[in-house]
Amino acid sequence: MEKNVSSPLRCTELLQRFEEKEALTMGEELRFLGVDGRDVYNITAPFEISFGIGHDERIITVIAGRVEKRGDKAKSQIVFFEENEKGEWTPVAGAQPFPLEDGFVTRIKDEIIFGGVSAYPQPTETDPNNVGYKTVFYRGTNLSSLKENQFATGPEKMKDIRLVGPLKNGKIGVFTRPQGDIGGKGKIGYLEIDRLEDLDNPEIMKNAKIIENQFATGEWGGANDLHLLSDGRIEVIGHIAYQDEPDTEGKEGAKHYYAMSFIYDPSNHTATPIEIIATIKNFPEGEAKTPQHKDVIFPSSLLRHGDGTGTLYVGLGDARAGKLERPAPLTKN
């Protein structure tokens, strides 16, 4: 495995390598109905879960998507959708939405682990509009009762906490995304816990080892989806990003987010170099939340298929959602 020990390439350099070596395959935008004109983006891949109680219980396949009225971020919800015979996605009747952003899902043994980002007003003396946020986790096997089973909360101001397991040593891998003194604008850390209950301690996140040399100065990223490989390593699907400088009038610069992947070896804390695997150019043109979000793609999940291919599910421009067929493995060994 090629270790990531040299200085990391900047996003622009990774983008050039991606565009030079890959034919531009086109994904498709997904259509969501029944949301009163609100945007749906940052979706999970489809997953199976029980729904209903008693004789009405059944297994359904759902996508969890962030639903939001444009310009009204404070009222984001995660809604669960089913696909109809026309290939459109509609809300699951009777399924409660979660007052969260950017949902994610994984399976640990026989349980579904579902989570998202809880955002809330946190005014300060210098910024009365400041927003606080943290990641919350739920566990269970039934969508009807999932909301009742919150079992852990991450640290303040930390998104992109993801779980994978059980590992070969029986533990659960936890990827974190610290910021500030440790992580700057956002780096990826890793630690292991013995059981899910151990996650309900935000202090343990401070024990995560940073995976160094992944992001150039001023750039950032995070893990979005994890896949345990047969040899014990972990394939990480995530995002890498940077933002342009403000213009001469102080207007916020455009954001640039790309889907990326790398392989992490928990046995020796090494990782392959990051590779971009998709950009906004892989999808039809469409609306964005603001002009600053036109070059934003957020890779929420990769759904692997039995033939070795995979479907990447993404948010587009913080306003739309899509999917892209990708060959697998995505990352070099």
For residue 148, tell me if it sits in a domain: yes
- Nearest residue to 239 (alpha-carbon basis) of 271, 211, 276, 213: 276
- Name the residue type at position 43: I
Instruction: Give the pLDDT confidence of 191-248 residue by residue, as tens digits.
Output: 999 999 999 998 898 889 999 999 999 999 999 999 999 999 999 999 999 999 987 7
Instruction: Give the pLDDT confidence of 278-307 residue by residue, as tens digits.
Output: 999 999 999 999 999 999 999 999 998 877
pTM reported for the whole predicted model: 0.93
For residue 180, tell me if it sits in a domain: yes
- Look-up of token digits 């040399």: 213
Cα–Cα distance, 10 to 241 (Å, whole number): 9
Instruction: Give the pLDDT confidence of 95-117 residue by residue, as tens digits.
Output: 999 999 999 999 999 999 999 99
- Average pLDDT over the chain, rounded to an integer: 91
CB atoms within 10 A of CB 214: 21
Q: Which residues span the domain enclosing 225?
A: 11-326
Q: What is the mean pLDDT of residues 267-288?
A: 95
What CATH number should be reported for the domain holding residue 134?
Answer: 2.115.10.20
Apex 191 CA angle, 308 and 277, nearest 5: 35
Overall domain count for the chain: 1
Q: Is the pLDDT of residue 73 over 70?
A: no
For residue 304, tell me if it sits in a domain: yes
For residue 231, tell me if it sits in a domain: yes
- Give the three-state DSSP class for 5: coil
Confidence of residue 156 (pLDDT cuts 50, 70, 90): very high
For residue 212, tell me if it sits in a domain: yes
For residue 333, tell me if it sits in a domain: no
Q: Is the pLDDT of residue 1 over 50?
A: no
Concatenating the DSSP letter of every residue in 56-106 gives: G-EEEEEEEEEEE-TT-GGG-EEEEEEE-TTS-EEEPTTPPPBS-EEEEEE
Instruction: Give the pLDDT confidence of 21-34 residue by residue, as tens digits.
Output: 877 789 999 999 99
For residue 78, tell me if it sits in a domain: yes
Tokens of 300: 């929420």
Cα–Cα distance, 182 to 240 (Å, whole number): 18
For residue 210, tell me if it sits in a domain: yes
